[in-house]
Structure formats: structure tokens, C-alpha cells
Structure 1
Amino acid sequence: MKTALILFADGSEELEAVTVINLLRRGGVTVVFAGLHEGPLRGSRGTVLVPDTTLDDVLDHDYDMVVLPGGQPGTNNLKTDARVLKLVRRMHEADKYVTAICAAPSVLATAGLLDGKHATSFPGSLDPFPKVLREPLAVVEDGKLITSRGPGTAMDFALTLVERLVGHAKRMEVEDGLVR
């Protein structure tokens, strides 16, 4: 069974995190929802979420994919956490899916993963990274790096992640069940 690790920090965008968690689980993916620290975390819009576990507890496990939701100050909290940067680098080096939405592609850029790569993000989030080849699309894939623009593209992003992990037929099954 395919596995995905979703990271969440105080101030992360809850709509993006919950959409990805929900759709991946509908697709049969084992999802681990990990907070940067123990206990409930408050999202960027004030919703309190209770992660399954902490990043420290799962840091050394293997996953097929890692997903970083955006939002502020959540993205900055992810970007300044050495564990997160080390994790995304390790997964990229292992040829696993490394994905981010909204402002969170800047975390991947900070880790050095987007130099010379095609990516998208919330407008302006990648401006400090001139080596990133920015695309104004809902979802951009460059190998196993997958990025998306924001809350409005969360469903397209999540469906793309389902497809990459468990195939086109499963994506269509999940999407049909959403009555989109």
C-alpha cells in the first residue's frame, strides 16, 4: 500500500491539508498526518487540527510521498525547521514524490530542490528564488516534484497526487465520487 506523510505547522492552510488527506485516503493511500510539535495545531484560518503524530515520531520512516500545505505563518514555520528541509532533501534523493502547495513550494526552493525546475505557487511566493522556472498553472509537475497554487487548486492538486500514487483509474473513481 502506498504511503504519504502530510506535514502541518501552526499557521498552515487547513483547507489544503484536509483536502489532500481526505482525497488520498479515498484513494486507498495510507496517510500519516504529522505536526511539527505535539498536540493540536491552529491553522492559518483558526481551525484547530489534531495530527496523528509528531514529525519526530515518524521522521525516520519511509514514505512514497511527502506533502507540504501552504498558508502563513505555517510555510515559514516549515521553511525554518531543519528537520523538514532534511526530510524533503532525503526524499528527493530517494526518488520519492516531494509535493507542496500555495506558499510551501518556497520550502522546496529553500531546500535547493527547485533550481532549474518547473514549479508553481501562490503568486509571489517563489519570487525570491530566481532559478525556479515558474509556471502560472494550477498544478505543475517536474519529475517527482509536484507543486500547486493555493486553496482554490487544492482539489486538482490532491487528485494529481492520488493519480501519481495509485493510478489514473483510482483517480477517476475518487473524482467521480466527489460529483465534481
Structure 2
Amino acid sequence: MSKVLVPLAQGCEELEAVTIIDILVRGGVEVVTASLDDNTIITASRGVQLVAQKTLDEVIDDHYDLVVLPGGLPGADYLQADPRIIAKLKNTVEMGGLAAAICAAPKVLVSAGLLDGKQATSYPGVIEKQPAHDMQFSNESVVEDGQIITSRGPGTAMDFALHLLQKLQGADVRQTVEAGLVRA
């Protein structure tokens, strides 16, 4: 079974966080949500309260197939400022895993050096202002370049989450989950 870490920072984008978590769980992925500090009650960017399962310190040393960052502000700023997140992203990729981010969170991947020489996307204006070295910006909804997957924002969260599910569990699982969502 694939295992995924979703760090939840205060001020994260709730639609993105919940969509990522929900789609992956529906597809049989083990999802671990973790707060950055001892407060496991997260007040998201629109005031919705989310509850993290653990603190980051409790799960930081565990192995994950994917670390995925919801965006939103100031959530993405808190993720970017946390050296544990930067180190975990780098380590996950070095160990053959995936790193993914949506909306404002791809700037965390820039800080980790994971978008150098990559094609990526983000919420408009986020990573174009401070791009990674030799990064190519795309306006696509979801961009995969090697072990890195990025997406644009709340409106692309479903496509992003389904892409992550397919990457982890295969096309058949994605199709089954997507059919159950009645998207068309």
C-alpha cells in the first residue's frame, strides 16, 4: 500500500487539502496528515477547521512514497519556512519517492531546489516571480516532470488528486474512483 504525507499548515487551502486526502483515501492509499506544531487543529485559509492525525515531529522519520503540499496562504509560507518540510521533500525524492504541490505550495519546491531544470506550474504569479534555476513555467492544470508533480489551484485540485492517485495506484484504480465521483 502506498503511503502519503500531507503536512497541514495553519492557513492552508481547505478545498485542496480535503480533495487530496479524500481522493487518495478512496483509492486505498494510506494518508497521514500532520500539523507543523503541537496544535493539530488547523484553521484553514477560509476559516474551516481541519484536524491533523499527528504532529510532524511524530511522523517525520517515517518513509513516504509521496509528500504532497496543499497551497493557500499563509499556509504555503509556513511550509516554506519549515526546514523539516524542505528536508523531508529532498529526502523523499532522493529515496525515489514523489514530491507534489498545488497552488502557492510549489514555491516550497523551489526553496527545496526540486524545480531546478523542471517544468512546473502554480497559482498565477507565485513561482514566475521567483522561479527555480532553468525552470520552465507551464499553464497546464497538472504538470509532471520526473518525480515532481505540480498543479495550479483550487479549481484543479480534483485533477491533481486523481493524477496523484493514478501515479501511486495505477489507471484502473483512478478510473474506479473517478467513476464513483460522477464527474461527467
TM-score when scaled to structure 1? 0.98
Counterpart CA distance in 2 for 1:95 and 1:145 is 11
The superposition leaves residues 25-52 of structure 1 with CA deviations (integer Å, 9 ceiling, x where unpaired) of: 0000000011111220100111111100
Identity %: 52
What is the Cα deviation at residue 130 of structure 1?
A: 5.1
User: Which structure 1 residue ranges, 4+ long, deviate > 3 Å from structure 2?
Assistant: none
The reply to whether residue 175 of structure 1 matches residue 150 of structure 2 is no
The reply to whether residue 83 of structure 1 matches residue 87 of structure 2 is no
Q: Indicate the SS of the match to 1:177.
A: helix
Alpha carbon RMSD of aligned pairs, Å? 0.7
Number of aligned residues: 180
Q: Corresponding residue for 1:128? A: 130
Q: Corresponding residue for 1:9? A: 9
The superposition leaves residues 88-138 of structure 1 with CA deviations (integer Å, 9 ceiling, x where unpaired) of: 011111120100000100000011110110100000110211532110000
The reply to whether residue 31 of structure 1 matches residue 34 of structure 2 is no
Q: Corresponding residue for 1:21? A: 21
How does 1:56-95 map onto structure 2 within 5 Å? 56-95=57-96
Counterpart CA distance in 1 for 2:120 and 2:96 is 17
The reply to whether residue 115 of structure 1 matches residue 154 of structure 2 is no
After TM superposition, the structure 1 stretch with the greater mean CA deviation from structure 2, 125-134 or 44-53, is: 125-134
Counterpart CA distance in 1 for 2:117 and 2:152 is 19
Paired residues of 2:65 and 2:97 also in contact (CA < 8 A): yes
| Runs of at least 5 residues in structure 2 that lack an aligned partner in the other structure | none
| Runs of at least 5 residues in structure 1 that lack an aligned partner in the other structure | none
TM-score when scaled to structure 2? 0.96
Counterpart CA distance in 2 for 1:98 and 1:72 is 19
